[in-house]
Amino acid sequence: MMMLCACTALFPARVPMRSAQWRLPASSGRAKCLVVFLPGFGDDAEDFARNGFVAEVQRRSLSADLVAAQATIGYYARGTFPERLATDVVGPARVRGYQQVWLIGMSMGGMGTVFYARARTADVTGVFALAPYLGDGDLIDELRAQGGLARWQAPPRVEALTEDNYQREIWRWLRAVTRGEERGPKLYLGYGRSDKLARADELLAAVLPEGHTYLIDGAHDWKTWKTLLGQFLDRSDFARDCR
């Protein structure tokens, strides 16, 4: 997947970043929580409504407003994704006084939840990464060969992400957060057993707390992700706190 690359002319990134919103009815009072949806490669903000994600949240009568960001690959390629999401989507929404902010994304958007949480840790209560893209095959092979994330010889922290270092830095950050060495949000993961990215996602699942991974039969598709979302909405810190 092309992120932080010199291919920006191929992938537009509108400023400000567009978003779609679904808020609680006024009769329900002010929502406790904000959910920010991040799309996968080739998807857009409205796909969360088309594929039933919005309905899954709303039918549970959770105290949550929903916003889906049009966070397409152009923002990742330019390295402007965290800034634009904060400035154009999360920041304007936070003025409503939410108690918690949760990020939910799949594939590229799953990586986006981690990207943003690393860059803006104080903004995020938790993330639910669905079948996240977590790096190229060579790096995943390296992690597995060394016995998993807990045993991986992680590089030093870097502040500025580049095309050459972002994958290792994301894994370094995940390792540090799951070991309690750095602050981070609550991390949840979901994926299907037949997902093309399962080899990478298994590495993260191995270091997450019990109950923070949802694994079902399924592939890299909306049907699987919708089922996983339902499980998260029923059994998670989000499900408990956002009522």
- The CATH number covering residue 212 comes to 3.40.50.1820
Query: Per the structure block, which two tokens stand in for 70?
Result: 């049009």
The conformation of residue 88, written as its DSSP 8-state character, comes to I
Q: Is residue 61 part of a domain?
A: yes
| Confidence tier at 9 by pLDDT (50, 70, 90) | low
Q: Is residue 98 part of a domain?
A: yes
Contact 63, 2 (CB under 8 A): no
Structure-derived torsion over alpha carbons of residues 157, 161, 164, 167, reported in degrees to the nearest 10: 70
| Confidence tier at 2 by pLDDT (50, 70, 90) | very low
Q: Is residue 143 part of a domain?
A: yes
Q: Is residue 1 part of a domain?
A: no
The pTM is what? 0.95
Q: Is residue 2 part of a domain?
A: no
Enclosing domain of residue 54:
8-241
Number of domains present in the structure of the chain: 1
CA distances in angstroms from 191 to 74, 89, 100, 222, 229, listed in the order given: 25, 26, 24, 11, 10
Tell which wins on pLDDT, 227 or 7. Answer: 227
Q: Is residue 153 part of a domain?
A: yes
pLDDT-wise least confident of 38-47, 48-57, 154-163: 154-163
Q: Is residue 3 part of a domain?
A: no
Residue whose C-alpha is closest to residue 33's, from 81, 65, 10: 65
Q: What is the pLDDT of residues 152-186, one digit of tens each?
A: 999 999 998 999 999 999 999 999 999 999 999 99
Q: How many residues appear in the chain? A: 243
84: Cβ–Cβ under 8 A, 6 or more apart, which residues? Answer: 13, 15, 16, 17, 71, 75
| Confidence tier at 27 by pLDDT (50, 70, 90) | low
Q: What is the pLDDT of residues 105-144, one digit of tens each?
A: 999 999 999 999 999 999 999 999 999 999 999 999 999 9
Q: Is residue 121 part of a domain?
A: yes
